[in-house]
A and B are shown apart, each in its own frame.
Chain A
Amino acid sequence: MSSGVFAIHAKPGRTTALALSWFLFAAGVGLYFYASALRHRDNPEDRVTPTLTQMARGMYDAVLHPAEDDEPLAEGASWMETVRHSMLWKDTKATGIRFFASLALLLPAVLVGLHMGLFPYMGAFLLRFILFFDKIIALSLLPILFIAFGIDELSKIMLIVIGVTPTIILDTFNISRAVPGEQVVKAFTLGASDFDVAYRVVLKQISPRVLNSIRLNLKAIMLFLFAGEMIASTDGLAYRIALLRRHMGMDVIIPYVLWVALLLFLVDFGMRWMNRKLHPWFHEA
């Protein structure tokens, strides 16, 4: 069969391709609500597969009411205050702060990787140790971290740092090693110093690739963050998901999972947009 739907040379039309790309979404949603409807026919109080109205009510409560373990909202609060005291907002804020704090801590990792790639003594000093560190499964360190740093913010951020930093360092190291030697020599012949070469030539050149590498590691960051939050936390999106599991609160868990996916998508999209704006010269190979 040289031509046909499954051939390499097949050319689906625009509409067909669009329809195909949405097919699994539609099928998933359809299947869920079919199963939900079936279960609700047997038991109208079913909590495992909440209907759309149940989920909407759950989220409505999450957006407009403080969490059960939080202090109740003062009477006659304005709309803004209501949202700011709501469960969803507080959870998102707590997770967001941890997320961006660990993103900020990745900046030193990028600089370490850059220096390792450029300065042979730095590379010789650090490379073997970081390769070793990279192989340690960060989650297995969690008990040690809780013992060493306590169960507050620090241990959660340390978990992310330990889990993702070696990857980012090694990525940056490899990316900066891949910069052609001609560029470094050229910069020297134009009178650049070592630090000019590192920051004005190489760092500028590798930054779009490094940003991409961080983008690809977003999921790992979130994974470590969620693990930390589920095990030891009193707020945050993952804490809420873990807590509601005990109450079988699927009407909130499912929207929360989708909300996290949406947030991660937005961060990813923002970073891609930033990459394009900051580095118009960069074309992905």
Chain B
Amino acid sequence: MITSLQAQPLIQIDDIHVAYGAPPKTVLYGIDLEIQEGEFVCVLGQTGCGKSTLLRLVLGSERPCQGHILIEGREHLRPDRSRGYVPQKYSLFPDKTVLDNITFGAEVGEFSLFGCFTPRYFRFRREYRAQAMDYLRRIGLRESDASKYPDQLSGGMQQRVAIAQALLTRPRILLMDEAFSALDPGTRKEMQRLIRELWRDTGTTILFVTHNTQEALCLGTRVIVLAKESPDSGSRVALDLRIPQPCHEEEIPRLMRKLERVSSNFPEADPQADEIHAVR
């Protein structure tokens, strides 16, 4: 089983090249990645290095100039149900209550635009709501929050709901774009614990974009660092690091230094620099 999965990765990124604008400015080039089912991949890089672009390519909302992205061996040219999405902002529909937000995926899946007027729809809604309520409790919301609108919730709560909304349609891949970057440190820690838990329980493959090294290290089973070789060139994979599981606390400072050096000094990073950093 494992060997067959190894043969066909869940996400295969094949020699991607992306450029924007006129004259074209390269953002990403020569990206080759294979992501297996069940991995928790953190994409790390400085602002503007193209990590969100990479995520949007996997999402299908953008297309590469060259290369392919295969998901389960197939090219997906637009976002669909197989990949859930949790952005940093605007992750919830402001006009729907928390409960309606969570059940939206199931509703559009089952009922077309005109289907929402049939009695079957209301029956379905009632039944599904009970299930959604259970889920809400699991991610740490109270029953009274269900009828609130998103802007009545704190940022952390909003992201909890957004994660629940994305996971309730059971996608195989969850794409998170700086999902916790706007949260305060305490809430962020809680959310990191929650997403690790959900990842372990559901076995969803997660692609998590962040600029925070510590976050990448404590979440991921694998950290991919994107960096530019020179200010004018596009970004490449500077480092593809598998994090030993479980990651020991004392390992983190050393790994952090290593990652930050790679990210800021690519491609001159040399192994000797590790000690220099440590002395400082």
Q: How many angstroms between the C-alpha atoms of A191 and B80 in the bound complex?
A: 6
Binding-face segment, A132-140, A198-206, A243-251: A198-206
Question: What are the residues of chain B within 8 A of A201 when measuring CB–CB?
Answer: 93
**Contact A182 B171, CB 8 Å, known A189-B59, A189-B166, A191-B108:** no
Question: In the assembled complex, how far is the CB of residue B112 from the closest CB belonging to chain A, in whole angstroms?
Answer: 8
Q: Once the chains bind, are A182 and B90 in contact (CB under 8 Å)?
A: yes
Question: What are the residues of chain A within 8 A of B89 when measuring CB–CB?
Answer: 180, 182
**Contact A185 B149, CB 8 Å, known A191-B109, A192-B108:** no
Partner of B151, one of A185, A187, A190, A281: A281
Q: How many angstroms between the C-alpha atoms of A3 and B149 in the bound complex?
A: 43
**Contact A195 B113, CB 8 Å, known A182-B90, A200-B108, A283-B151:** yes
Question: In the assembled complex, how far is the CB of residue B9 from the closest CB belonging to chain A, in whole angstroms?
Answer: 20
Residue of chain B at shortest CB distance from A179: B90
**8 A Cβ contacts from B54-77 to A:** 59, 61
Question: What are the residues of chain B within 8 A of A191 when measuring CB–CB?
Answer: 80-81, 105, 108-109, 169
Q: How many angstroms between the C-alpha atoms of A201 and B78 in the bound complex?
A: 17
**Contact A190 B95, CB 8 Å, known A183-B90, A280-B149:** no
Q: How many angstroms between the C-alpha atoms of A42 and B11 in the bound complex?
A: 94
Partner of A196, one of B85, B108, B166: B108
Question: In the assembled complex, how far is the CB of residue A31 from the closest CB belonging to chain B, in whole angstroms?
Answer: 48
Question: In the assembled complex, how far is the CB of residue B166 from the closest CB belonging to chain A, in whole angstroms?
Answer: 7
Partner of A190, one of B81, B90, B94, B113: B81
Q: Once the chains bind, are A193 and B108 in contact (CB under 8 Å)?
A: yes
Q: How many angstroms between the C-alpha atoms of A100 and B89 in the bound complex?
A: 39
**Contact A180 B166, CB 8 Å, known A189-B79, A191-B81:** no
Chain B positions within 8 Å of A, measured between CB atoms, are 59, 61, 78-81, 83-85, 87, 89-91, 93-96, 104-105, 108-109, 112-113, 149-151, 165-166, 169, 171
Question: What are the residues of chain B within 8 A of A189 when measuring CB–CB?
Answer: 59, 79-81, 83-85, 166, 169, 171
Question: In the assembled complex, how far is the CB of residue A120 from the closest CB belonging to chain B, in whole angstroms?
Answer: 13
Question: In the assembled complex, how far is the CB of residue A204 from the closest CB belonging to chain B, in whole angstroms?
Answer: 5
Question: What are the residues of chain B within 8 A of A281 when measuring CB–CB?
Answer: 94-95, 149-151
Q: How many angstroms between the C-alpha atoms of A200 and B114 in the bound complex?
A: 11
Question: In the assembled complex, how far is the CB of residue A51 from the closest CB belonging to chain B, in whole angstroms?
Answer: 53
Q: Once the chains bind, are A190 and B105 in contact (CB under 8 Å)?
A: yes
Q: How many angstroms between the C-alpha atoms of A216 and B195 in the bound complex?
A: 46
Interface string of A169-195 (1 = CB under 8 A from B): 000000000001111011111111101
Residue of chain B at shortest CB distance from A205: B95
Question: In the assembled complex, how far is the CB of residue A214 from the closest CB belonging to chain B, in whole angstroms?
Answer: 18
Question: What are the residues of chain A within 8 A of B150 when measuring CB–CB?
Answer: 281
Residue of chain A at shortest CB distance from B110: A191
Question: What are the residues of chain A within 8 A of B169 when measuring CB–CB?
Answer: 189-191
Question: What are the residues of chain B within 8 A of A205 when measuring CB–CB?
Answer: 93-95
Interface string of A149-161 (1 = CB under 8 A from B): 0000000000000
Q: Is A279 an interface residue (CB 8 A)?
A: yes
Q: How many angstroms between the C-alpha atoms of A162 and B187 in the bound complex?
A: 54
Question: What are the residues of chain B within 8 A of A183 when measuring CB–CB?
Answer: 90, 93
Q: Once the chains bind, are A185 and B59 in contact (CB under 8 Å)?
A: yes
Q: How many angstroms between the C-alpha atoms of A83 and B4 in the bound complex?
A: 86
Residue of chain A at shortest CB distance from B177: A182
Q: How many angstroms between the C-alpha atoms of A182 and B158 in the bound complex?
A: 15
**Contact A188 B79, CB 8 Å, known A181-B61, A205-B95:** yes
Q: How many angstroms between the C-alpha atoms of A101 and B79 in the bound complex?
A: 41
Question: In the assembled complex, how far is the CB of residue B231 from the closest CB belonging to chain A, in whole angstroms?
Answer: 28
Question: What are the residues of chain A within 8 A of B84 when measuring CB–CB?
Answer: 189-190
Q: How many angstroms between the C-alpha atoms of A185 and B108 in the bound complex?
A: 14
Question: What are the residues of chain A within 8 A of B93 when measuring CB–CB?
Answer: 183, 186-187, 201, 204-205
Closest 10 CB pairs of A and B: A190-B105, A188-B79, A180-B90, A281-B149, A182-B90, A191-B81, A182-B87, A189-B85, A191-B109, A192-B108
Interface string of A42-75 (1 = CB under 8 A from B): 0000000000000000000000000000000000
Question: In the assembled complex, how far is the CB of residue B158 from the closest CB belonging to chain A, in whole angstroms?
Answer: 13
Q: Once the chains bind, are A279 and B95 in contact (CB under 8 Å)?
A: yes
Q: How many angstroms between the C-alpha atoms of A186 and B112 in the bound complex?
A: 17
Residue of chain A at shortest CB distance from B105: A190
Question: What are the residues of chain B within 8 A of A279 when measuring CB–CB?
Answer: 95
Question: What are the residues of chain A within 8 A of B95 when measuring CB–CB?
Answer: 204-205, 279, 281-282
Question: In the assembled complex, how far is the CB of residue A265 from the closest CB belonging to chain B, in whole angstroms?
Answer: 28
Residue of chain B at shortest CB distance from A280: B149
- By CB atoms of chain A within 10 A, which of B79, B87, B89, B105 has the most? B79
Q: How many angstroms between the C-alpha atoms of A201 and B108 in the bound complex?
A: 11
Question: In the assembled complex, how far is the CB of residue A215 from the closest CB belonging to chain B, in whole angstroms?
Answer: 19
Question: In the assembled complex, how far is the CB of residue A177 from the closest CB belonging to chain B, in whole angstroms?
Answer: 14
Ordered by A's residue number, 15 sampled pairs between the chains whose C-beta atoms are within 8 Å are A180-B89, A180-B90, A182-B90, A186-B85, A186-B93, A189-B84, A190-B81, A190-B105, A190-B169, A193-B112, A195-B113, A204-B96, A205-B93, A205-B94, A281-B150
